[in-house]
Copies of this chain bind each other. A is one copy, B any other.
Amino acid sequence: MKVVSTNITVRYAETDQMGVVHHSNYIVWFEVGRTDFIKELGFHYAEMEKSGILSPVIDVHCSYKKPTTYGEVVTINTWVEDYDGLRVTYGYEVKNQKNEVCVTGYSIHVCVKQDSFRPISIRKHLPDWHEAYEKLKHK
């Protein structure tokens, strides 16, 4: 399975008055991991958008096991969990420097036309991406 790792140094602004990272930030970190994963596949999300196709999230889930704190360097591991030609499910894991799993989660994405937000088939409209995701599934 292809897993891409991204390091993030926790920002002060990402903490809340509990003294730990606010839970909404992990959703942002997942996105940072996803960006890196896509780049490692040889694609660029920004270029896809320029061609008039967006890839919004339709579902996100996050399980919090251990807090992370300001100054820590955390690792986001990202992989493809599922793909059916229309929807991609990415899996994520956030680990701290002791290699403890702090947060796990997934997000499901479709592709839509920028002007209408109407879903399109990745298989048909983005054949290169389709091929890459199919290969990941069979690994």
Which of A's residues lie within 8 Å of B, judged by CB? 9, 11-13, 15-20, 22-25, 27-28, 31-32, 35, 44-46, 49, 54, 56-65, 67, 69-71, 117
Interface of A is mostly: mixed
Cross-chain contact B12 with A17 (CB below 8 angstroms): yes
- Copies of this chain, complex-wide, total 4
Cross-chain contact A28 with B13 (CB below 8 angstroms): yes
Can you spell out 26 A-B residue pairs with CB atoms less than 8 angstroms apart?
A9-B32, A11-B31, A11-B35, A12-B16, A12-B22, A12-B31, A12-B35, A12-B45, A13-B16, A13-B24, A16-B16, A16-B17, A17-B17, A17-B19, A17-B49, A17-B70, A18-B49, A23-B56, A24-B24, A24-B25, A24-B28, A24-B31, A27-B27, A45-B70, A56-B64, A58-B64
Q: Name the residue of chain B whose CB is nearest to the CB of A6.
A: B9
Residues of B within 8 A of A15 (CB): 16-17
Q: Name the residue of chain B whose CB is nearest to the CB of A17.
A: B15
Cross-chain contact A62 with B64 (CB below 8 angstroms): no
CB A11 to nearest CB in B, in angstroms, measures: 6
